[in-house]
Amino acid sequence: ATPTSIMVGTGRAAEMGVLFRKGDALQRLDEIKVIAFDKTGTLTEGRPELAASVAAPGFDTGQVLALAASAEQGSEHPIARALERAAGPGLMQATETEAIPGHGLRAVVDGKIVLVGAPRLMIREGIDLAPLAAALDSMQAKGQTPALVAIDGRIAAGFAVADRIKPGARAALDALRARGLEIALITGDTRATAQAIAAELGITHVEAEVLPEGKLEAVKHLRGRFGPVAFCGDGINDAPALAEADVGLAIGTGTDVAIESADVVLVSGELSGAVNAVTASQSVMRNIR
Ligand code: ADP
Ligand code: MG
């Protein structure tokens, strides 16, 4: 590639809201075989809302929600915000709050030990999920993320948290497929929830229940299977995968850490930016050859 053609290509891409932070990313993007996406905040809006509540026998959803939202006050996770908005004002003080990365958190509220998080948090803590098993299945089948709550060692309630798929996501993924790319999803969410979202978007390669440190490994795994990988993400926990990928694309509305780790920034946060990036790369490289 000549320096001039790369300059012209990156300039055109910038007009479409795609910032190439490194010139050679334009070349590397043309060699990509697979593009993997983070789910929350990348394929979805990243602003989940409470969609349904189910209490285990002997518990009241309103009371459990108040305890859970109180426990979540210190957390930066989008699920924490969804539970707080649903619970409203008048939360109780939480003490001994401890985040359990990739799982959820534990805190003491009103003298009770409160656990809030994914099913695997409850399994890890030896809590019996049987009273909520049916509700759990139906939440996940709808693509909703289950936020389970245990109080003093017993499962108390399940809250379904729903996050809207970005408008234009499906069209962008279809356009990337039409340009010859495999599409993959990498997420910390449960397998069943991830599969439901993937089905809506026509994604067949799904890496779910990935721990925060596991996204980088998932990128390596995809490279071994398909060849050069692009990864698109927005979060702090996406930074290692963005750096590891042959081309990292950050959602411009995402965290600074993600943007700093990426080769390409999709300024508006819309997924059409990924299509524009690939198109810019392919057209520049085609003209050169
Ligand atoms: P993701 O970016 O997919 O949400 P995380 O690694 O942050 O990945 O978390 C994995 C899963 O653990 C989440 O999908 C969620 O179910 C659960 N989780 C993590 N933190 C919290 C929290 N503060 N409250 C409720 N659930 C949580
Ligand atoms: Mg995210």
Integer-rounded Cα radius of gyration of the chain: 21
Number of helices (H), then strands (E), in the chain = 12, 13
pLDDT of residue 244: 97
Q: Say how many Å lie between the CA of residue 248 and the centre of ligand 2.
A: 14
**Ligand 1 pocket, residue 120 CB under 6 Å:** no
**Residue 118, phi then psi, degrees to nearest 5:** -75, 160
Domains of the chain: 3-45+165-288 (3.40.50.1000), 49-162 (3.40.1110.10)
Residue 72 has pLDDT above 80, yes or no: yes
**Residue 156, phi then psi, degrees to nearest 5:** -115, -40
The tokens describing 64, both together, are: 């459990």
Best mutation site among 45, 50, 73, 79 for ligand 1 pocket (most ligand atoms within 8 Å of CB): 79
Q: Give the neighbor-by-neighbor strand order of the sheet with 49-55.
A: 49-55, 154-162, 145-151, 112-117, 104-109, 94-100
The mean per-residue pLDDT over the stretch 157-177 comes to 97
Report pLDDT digits (tens) over 178-219.
999 999 999 999 999 999 999 999 999 999 999 988 999 999
Ligand 1 atom index nearest CA of 235: 2
Model confidence band, residue 289 (pLDDT cutoffs 50, 70, 90): low
ipTM (interface predicted TM): 0.96
pLDDT of residue 2: 81
Report pLDDT digits (tens) over 229-259.
999 999 999 999 999 999 999 999 999 999 9
